[in-house]
Amino acid sequence: MNYRYEIVKKLGRGAFGVVLRCIDHAHPEREHVAMKILKNKKKLHKQGKIEVKILNILRGDDPEEKRNCVMIRDQFTFRNHVVSVFDYECVVHII
């Protein structure tokens, strides 16, 4: 996906989309990441963009990652789906 991520398996499914375990091929160690893909609906697309904006603000406010908040690593739109990428280890503790 996005010429960078390889899907390994599905971690969960919810009302708004799906969370996948992926390999990040752009990372030197081919690190595992969690990818959240929202359904392709106008309302969810708008809400997803707001969520990404808030997560980017939180990431900028905590550069040393000392607070207990999931950190977004990447975000993009793929076939009109809002996609957010997170550290796999952080997401596993939440699930």
pLDDT of residue 95: 57
Model pLDDT, residue 9: 96
What does the alpha-carbon distance between residue 18 and residue 10 come to, in Å, rounded to a whole number?
8
Structural domain for 55, as ranges: 5-94
Single-letter amino acid code for the residue at 10: K
How does residue 19 score in pLDDT terms, banded at 50, 70 and 90?
very high
Structure tokens at 52: 């990404």
> What's the mean pLDDT in 17-41?
95
Q: How confident is the model at residue 90 (pLDDT cuts 50, 70, 90)?
A: confident
Please tell me the total count of domains within the chain. Answer: 1
Is residue 59 over pLDDT 70?
Answer: yes
91 to 3, 41, 46: CA distances (angstroms): 23, 24, 23
The pTM for the full model equals 0.87
